[in-house]
Structure 1
Amino acid sequence: MRALIQRVSEARVAVSGAVVGEIGPGLLILVCAMRDDPDDVHERLARRVVRLRIFRDEEGRMNRSLLDTGGAALIVSQFTLAADTRSGNRPDFSTAAPPDRGEALYLRFAEAIAREGVPVATGRFGATMQVSLVNDGPVTIWMES
């Protein structure tokens, strides 16, 4: 499972012009299930994400986690994180999980984040979405399980 994590002061996702998920301060997490991911991959990644110390402390250092700050998570599926661009001009997405498995792992990941006590909003799996955000920092972190 791959995740692109952005520390945000706000973020929202819309489908056909209607907002389906939005948060204030927290993390926008773009996530992609990979074809060879084990069944429990979502649990490990969720634990790591909510404990990732990328929020400022009183001294301005990145020393606090999402759990420490009480922020929220907006989780958006994005199979294009599986893109292999090593050859040619068209990305190859064959390493992404098939849609049914990808959706299941995406939903399990969102549930695992929520079980950690983090308020969660989501996009809509498989939909064409418009994502808007205010990246705080900017801070953007790439994670793989």
Structure 2
Amino acid sequence: MADSGPKSRIILQQCLSARLQTQPKTVNSEAKFVEIGPGLIVYVCFLKGATEDILDKIVKSITTAKLSEIEEDGKRVSVLDQPGDILIIPQATLGGVLKGKVMQYHRNIDKETGLKLYSKFVELCGSFVMDNSKSKECDKTVKFGTYGNRQVFNCVTNGPYSHVLEI
């Protein structure tokens, strides 16, 4: 019998700006970062049983959900409807389950499959945003973190405005 539970867990967070370290400083090179201005941060974790079949649904859900408020009238719009960037951050800890006093990550997908899904997800998200942005005059970007690495992260928000999706 197939597990009917979620195959991914995603947190969406509005931001005024965000900066993510994608490569730490080494003896031979400076640290590398990606940055966005106003937009949407997408934390994503793939769970056991996840396949490429869910990626289109995730991309459409995160880009078309009407979460962002337009200041003039209070109307909510999607990230596609406004100027704004997307920052995708791999977040394996979203798959954790508290057992007693210890977090366990037995529900997470294996690292190799997770990397493949994450890479494909980033690619699909970038293509979808470029093809469907309603603010064509804006230079909308999709930036992303490095799968499998710890990453230093800074974010400025205009309120704790987070949403959890399980797909």
Give the alignment's TM-score, normalised by structure 1.
0.92
Unaligned runs of 5+ in 2: 1-7, 26-30, 131-139
Deviation at 1:20, TM superposition (A): 2.9
* Larger strand fraction of residues: 1
The code of the aligned residue for 2:150 comes to T
C-alpha RMSD of the superposition: 1.4
**Aligned twin of 2:16:** 9
Deviation at 1:144, TM superposition (A): 1.0
SS of structure 1 residue aligned to 2:104: coil
Give the alignment partner of residue 69 of structure 2, picking from 56, 74, 99. Answer: 56
**TM superposition outliers: structure 1 runs of 4+ over 4 Å:** none
1:42-80 CA distance string (max 9 Å, x none) = 11011010001111133124x110000131111111110
Unaligned runs of 5+ in 1: none
The code of the aligned residue for 1:94 comes to H
1:11-69 CA distance string (max 9 Å, x none) = 111132523321111111111011111322111011010001111133124x1100001
Give the alignment partner of residue 104 of structure 1, picking from 116, 128, 136. Answer: 116
Note closer, same or farther for the CA distance 1:128–1:144 as it changes in structure 2 (3 Å cut).
Answer: same
Give the alignment partner of residue 126 of structure 2, picking from 99, 107, 114. Answer: 114
> Structure 2 matches for 1:1-145, cutoff 5 A?
1-14=8-21, 15-17=23-25, 18-57=31-70, 58-61=72-75, 63-85=76-98, 87-116=99-128, 117=130, 119-145=141-167
Aligned length: 143
Deviation at 1:137, TM superposition (A): 2.7
The code of the aligned residue for 1:105 comes to L
SS of structure 2 residue aligned to 1:129: coil
- C-alpha contact 1:30 1:76 (8 A) present in aligned 2: yes
Structure possessing the higher radius of gyration over alpha carbons? 2
Larger RCO of the pair (alpha carbons < 8 Å, separation 6+):
1
Identity of aligned residues (%): 27
- C-alpha contact 1:20 1:124 (8 A) present in aligned 2: no
Give the alignment's TM-score, normalised by structure 2.
0.80
Distance in 2 (alpha carbons) for counterparts of 1:88 and 1:11: 34
